[in-house]
């Protein structure tokens, strides 16, 4: 049995606050080990990373999610007792509900709605001096996903929902004012969506039986019981909120267009495969999710290290996506790295590892990729705009993070089609 390196409590706590995304990666480098142990709030936590660690982490025979998602995150980001905390058959059963909504036809229809909302938004953008892309993307996505899900919503309600969803996501890395805003936003959204669920169940609101609103309202658990209204609302929000969260990726994609104009030229040549490579590199290169947590299901050994039942374990997602054993020059933005590359289940952790149908990998990953493609094609082909001088830096210590300015665009004009 090998000794697991330990990070001292002061360096561990301050390091996480001061370093953010690369904290686990930096400690793995420091200890020259893919695994180390530290104390957070008085609890021992095992941190590990790399492809082999990810493969182990997503093994349902070794890890469970119950008890791994801390209350501050459940109270803001995911909702209490949501799919993220479910395991085994219960998780599979609920995951099937999400997957049933994500067929190719539904994803295509969502993209059509995103394009419609972008066209309406850009007509307004032409009339004002400048916009902040992050804010506008969130509103476009909120309007599109609510329409797609069958949620009756006015433009004003959609804008409020967009801001609330942004607050919920922005809260996950904070225990301060951001967390307070995120808690309030979640309460507001759960109340709003619960009313929608209630109206559908009572027959007051008629919606398409294939819509996400209807499916969540009528979902039955493994015992054949309808979810209580609040729980159904939580899971519907776990469709709406992550879609609006794509606005973070949209903003980073716009930054990449600005910083790497040679990539823009390649995409404008009409190479659809290269656009996908570019999107994957945006998702790999830029910071989105720092790590993922789970608890050990039963005692086991990994590389002669003992994992005791009940232990909290964090998988280094950011570090695995920047692991030089997996990615040549990992801190260089290079979409060509995906040319001819077979993406294995556990080497690219932009939105989790394994198979989305059976593990805790995000079921909406295809929506993310296709939505980014829709935005990129729009930004490169439908718009002309200027990027004024602004602060486009982003802090890796802030979780989540984005360019400081939110990516300001000005002098926006739609390209006219003859």
CATH of the domain at 396: 1.10.630.10
pTM comes to 0.95
108 phi/psi in degrees, rounded to 5: -65, -40
Tell whether 1 is covered by a domain. Answer: no
Which band of pLDDT confidence, cut at 50, 70 and 90, is reported for residue 9?
low
Residue 418 is predicted with a pLDDT of: 47
Tell whether 3 is covered by a domain. Answer: no
Number of structural domains the chain divides into: 1
User: Could you give the percent of the chain with pLDDT greater than 90?
Assistant: 78
Tell whether 191 is covered by a domain. Answer: yes
Tell whether 2 is covered by a domain. Answer: no
Residue 48 is predicted with a pLDDT of: 97
Tell whether 133 is covered by a domain. Answer: yes
359: helix, coil or strand? coil
Average pLDDT, the chain: 93
Residue 1 is predicted with a pLDDT of: 64
Domain containing residue 343 = 9-414
Tell whether 61 is covered by a domain. Answer: yes
Whole-angstrom distance, CA of residue 66 vs CA of residue 69: 7
Tell whether 260 is covered by a domain. Answer: yes
pLDDT tens-place string over residues 226-235: 999 999 999 9
pLDDT tens-place string over residues 387-406: 999 999 999 999 999 999 99
Q: Tokens for 29?
A: 């480098």
Whole-angstrom distance, CA of residue 255 vs CA of residue 403: 8
103 phi/psi in degrees, rounded to 5: -75, 170
pLDDT tens-place string over residues 76-89: 888 888 888 888 88
Rounded mean pLDDT, 185-209: 96
Tell whether 331 is covered by a domain. Answer: yes
313 phi/psi in degrees, rounded to 5: -130, 135
pLDDT tens-place string over residues 234-289: 999 999 999 999 999 999 999 999 999 999 989 988 778 999 999 999 999 999 99
> Could you tell me which residues come within 8 angstroms of residue 297 by beta carbon, excluding any fewer than 6 positions away?
60, 61, 62, 63, 64, 309
- Residue where the block lists tokens 């232990």: 311
Res 4 pLDDT > 60? yes
pLDDT tens-place string over residues 148-157: 999 999 999 9
Residue 356 is predicted with a pLDDT of: 78
Rounded mean pLDDT, 322-339: 97
């Amino acid at each position: 049995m090998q000794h697991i390196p330990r990070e001292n409590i002061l360096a561990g706590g301050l390091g996480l606050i001061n370093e953010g995304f690369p904290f686990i990666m930096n400690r793995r480098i420091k200890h020259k080990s893919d695994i180390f142990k530290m104390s957070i709030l008085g609890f021992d936590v095992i941190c590990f990373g790399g492809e082999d660690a990810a493969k182990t982490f997503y093994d349902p025979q070794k890890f469970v999610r119950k008890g791994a998602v801390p209350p501050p995150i459940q109270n803001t980001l995911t909702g209490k007792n949501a799919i993220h905390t479910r395991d085994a058959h219960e998780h599979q059963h609920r995951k099937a509900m999400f997957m049933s909504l994500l067929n190719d036809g539904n994803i295509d229809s969502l993209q059509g709605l995103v394009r419609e909302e972008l066209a309406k938004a850009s007509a307004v953008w032409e009339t004002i001096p400048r916009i902040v892309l992050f804010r506008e993307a969130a509103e476009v996505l909120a309007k599109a996903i609510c329409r797609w899900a069958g949620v009756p919503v006015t433009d004003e309600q959609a804008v409020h929902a967009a801001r609330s969803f942004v607050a919920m996501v922005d809260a996950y890395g904070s225990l301060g004012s951001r967390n307070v805003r995120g808690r309030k936003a979640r309460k507001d959204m759960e109340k709003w969506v619960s009313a929608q669920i209630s109206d559908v169940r009572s027959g007051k609101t008629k919606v398409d039986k294939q819509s996400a609103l209807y499916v969540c309202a009528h979902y039955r658990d493994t015992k054949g019981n309808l979810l209580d209204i609040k729980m159904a609302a939580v899971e519907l929000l776990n469709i709406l909120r992550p879609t609006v969260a794509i606005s973070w990726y949209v903003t980073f994609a716009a930054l990449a267009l600005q910083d790497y104009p040679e990539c823009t030229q390649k995409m404008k040549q009409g190479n659809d495969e290269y656009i996908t490579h570019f999107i994957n590199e945006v998702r790999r290169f830029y910071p989105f999710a720092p790590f993922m947590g789970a608890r050990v299901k039963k005692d086991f050994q990994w590389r002669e290290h003992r994992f005791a039942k009940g232990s909290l374990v964090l998988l280094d997602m950011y570090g695995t996506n920047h692991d030089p054993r997996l990615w040549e020059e990992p801190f260089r933005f290079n979409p060509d790295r995906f040319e001819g590359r077979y993406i294995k289940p556990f080497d690219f952790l932009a939105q989790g590892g394994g198979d989305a149908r059976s593990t805790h990998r995000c079921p909406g990953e295809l929506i993310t990729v296709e939505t980014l493609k829709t935005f990129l094609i729009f930004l490169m082909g439908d718009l002309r705009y200027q990027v004024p001088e602004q602060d486009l830096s982003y802090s890796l210590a802030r979780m989540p993070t984005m360019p400081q300015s939110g990516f300001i665009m000005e002098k926006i004009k739609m390209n006219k089609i003859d």
